Amino acid sequence: MVAIALTGCGLGKMIKKYGEVKYTVDPPILEVHADKVPVKISATVPAKYFIKGASATFTPVLKWEGGEVSLKPITVLGETAQGDGQKIKNASGGSFSYTDTIPYKPAMKKSELFAKVGLAMKSKTADLPERKLTVGCITTSTRVANDEDIRLGADKYVKESIISQEAEIYYPIQSAVIPQKEMTGGSMKTLKEFVAKKYITKNITITAWASPDGPVELNDKLSGDRSTSAFKYVQNELVKMKLDGAKNEELYSKVSKGEYWDGFNKLVGASNIEDRQLILDIVNRHSDVNSREQEIKNLAVVYLTLAKDILPKLRKADIAINSQEPKKTDAQIDSLSLAKPDSLDVEELLYAATLSQDLDKQLKIYESASNVYPDDWRGYNNVGYIYLKQGKLDEAKSWLEKAKAKNATAEVLSNLGVAAAWSQDYEGAIKNFEEAKSGGGNVSNNLGILNLRTGNYTTALEYFGSDCSYNAALSNLLLKNNDAAKTKSECAAKTAATAYLQAIIGARMGDAGMMSSSLKAAVGQDANYRREAMDDLEFSKFWENTDFKGAIQ
């Protein structure tokens, strides 16, 4: 009746022949990208359809159970109609295009897109019947894995530390016999006190020299004899002190260095000898040690000073005992970390958290670290790290901000970036990641995932590089690089999510076998994928397929 009433003005004809107007949606099923739904529609209007003086207001509407949203309207005009809008000629017909983007809501996963068109000409108005254009939404882009790198403030605890104690034995000129006073001297006394602590000895080194006066051959022999006498004396003393392994000669390293020219230069350079620079120049100028020694001896007065103050200090053997520093056992550290955390140093306390896989226990230890050592950023950062692992974003952000206030390290900034990304604060995420990168942090993976989340799939792959990962496979799939997506998925971690993604890849490639076998594997690992697949438009062409039905049973 409306059409008949409007026939005289031409709008009725447009209503009657509306079925001749063709709409095309690209892509044919709405897809989500970067948490948004882009809508692109093309319309073809046949010749003799659009009345010259008429106008049409075109408004797409997306509807779902319990809600709907109207997209922006556009105006399409007949060739003589006044106003702004795309023009359609009456005689030849024409086309118009439409684009808009709306924020995605999970309820839109099962939705339908309709075209609402209102006509007007002069004082007459009419509505064309609603036309269903397509369905939505394919949500594969939202299947990003939270595989960002979360950074711990690592402990610097060393399970085995070597502590050394050194002593020197000085010899008379041209002698390898140890004077009695050297056996009871200060450095040997200190060495014996160290041995008495009964630490586990790793090795003992004995290094002997001769002063650079006299023939080289004699000094080489003298140096060797001194290393032997020092070894025999030290071993004998350690056996008497009942040092474990003292009789084992493999515990000792005995070295003869010959003439000690390096020591000579060091002592002369640090001395108050007036001609010390002249002496050093002679040493540097002559590579032949005999010529060098003779020129120095020619400086008669200077040589007397050297013989008195310098050369005796070069006739020696150095003894170094290298022992394993006593440490608490892992069991002791683990127990104290909860019962008495202030009895551990910061490295021990942070290390204690690594002895457990229990996140709640780790959280308590890291909280203790922040209390006992409040100036160390790692305790705060690591509490934030645990909260990120637990998906508690507000708590994570709070602790990470405390860590940043102590020290804005690359680890802290990267973790703040992850917290922002998971909260869909992508601007905050990129800011923190870039600052972490400037501070020397490796955030390539995190930047790759961020670009995947924001729809920059090509950039994401640049950051992923040659990495084989679920997210690299997803990035390729969203770029419609199906073969590359398949290859990346095959070398990614074998998870239920990976198997489900492979099912989608198979569906897009029209490979029913790959689709069904992968889907069956996904459902076998996680039964929730059964329901997801039944609603996932990626499989809409296979819903009635027996292979599909068999895979989700």
φ/ψ of residue 504, rounded to 5: -65, -45
Q: Measuring CA to CA, how many Å separate 515 from each of 382, 398, 401, 446, 500?
A: 41, 44, 45, 30, 9
Q: Measuring CA to CA, how many Å separate 479 from each of 300, 365, 447, 455?
A: 87, 45, 18, 10
- Residue at 52: amino acid letter: K
Task: Please say whether the beta carbons of 538 and 510 come within 8 A.
Answer: no
The model's pTM? 0.78
Distance CA 336, CA 278 (A): 62
The tokens describing 94, both together, are 């024409």
Cis-peptide into 491, omega within 30 deg: no
**Beta carbons within 8 Å of 342's beta carbon, 6+ residues apart:** 372
Task: Please say whether the beta carbons of 381 and 413 come within 8 A.
Answer: no
CA nearest neighbour of 15 among 149, 142, 144, 119: 119
Distance CA 267, CA 263 (A): 6
DSSP E strand stretches across 436-546: none
36-45 and 22-25: which strand pairing? antiparallel
Distance CA 338, CA 246 (A): 40
The tokens describing 215, both together, are 């023939």
Task: Please say whether the beta carbons of 210 and 260 come within 8 A.
Answer: yes
The tokens describing 73, both together, are 């309207």
The tokens describing 523, both together, are 């459902």
Distance CA 252, CA 320 (A): 10
For the chain, helix (H) and strand (E) counts, in that order, are 24, 15
CA nearest neighbour of 150 among 449, 407, 455: 449
Task: Please say whether the beta carbons of 418 and 393 come within 8 A.
Answer: no
Cis-peptide into 374, omega within 30 deg: no
Q: Which pLDDT belongs to residue 185?
A: 79
CA nearest neighbour of 474 among 456, 459, 452: 452
Helix (H) or strand (E) holding 75: strand 74-78
Question: For 90, which DSSP code?
Answer: T
Distance CA 476, CA 371 (A): 46
The tokens describing 79, both together, are 């060739």
Q: Measuring CA to CA, how many Å separate 74 from each of 5, 41, 111, 491?
A: 26, 12, 22, 48
Q: Which pLDDT belongs to residue 214?
A: 82
Burial 366-397 (b: 16+ CB within 10 A, else e): bbbbbebbeebbbbbbbbbbbbbeeeebebbb
Q: Which pLDDT belongs to residue 8?
A: 44
Can you give the pLDDT of all 553 residues of the chain as single tens digits? 444 444 445 799 999 999 999 999 999 999 999 999 999 999 999 999 999 999 999 999 999 999 999 999 999 999 999 999 999 999 999 999 999 999 999 999 999 999 999 999 999 999 999 999 999 999 999 999 999 999 999 999 998 889 999 999 999 999 999 999 998 878 999 999 999 999 999 999 999 999 988 888 999 999 999 999 999 999 999 999 999 999 999 999 999 999 998 998 999 899 888 888 888 888 788 777 777 778 777 776 678 888 899 999 999 999 999 999 889 999 999 999 999 999 999 999 999 999 999 999 999 999 999 999 999 999 999 999 999 999 999 999 999 999 999 999 999 999 999 999 999 999 999 999 999 999 999 999 999 999 999 999 999 999 999 989 999 999 999 999 999 999 999 999 999 999 999 999 999 999 999 999 999 999 999 999 999 999 999 999 999 989 899 999 8
The tokens describing 23, both together, are 């709409």
Q: Is 485 exposed, middle or buried (0-12, 13-18, 19+ CB in 10 A)?
A: buried
Q: Which pLDDT belongs to residue 1?
A: 41
Q: Is 75 exposed, middle or buried (0-12, 13-18, 19+ CB in 10 A)?
A: middle
Q: Is 69 exposed, middle or buried (0-12, 13-18, 19+ CB in 10 A)?
A: middle
Long-range contacts of 497-502 (CB under 8 A, 24+ apart): 497/143, 497/145, 497/470, 497/522, 498/470, 498/473, 499/525, 500/143, 500/529, 500/532, 500/533, 501/143, 501/470, 501/473, 501/474, 501/477
Cα 360 versus chain centre, distance: 23
Task: Please say whether the beta carbons of 426 and 448 come within 8 A.
Answer: no
Output Rg (C-alpha) for the chain, integer angstroms. Answer: 42
Q: Which pLDDT belongs to residue 9?
A: 52
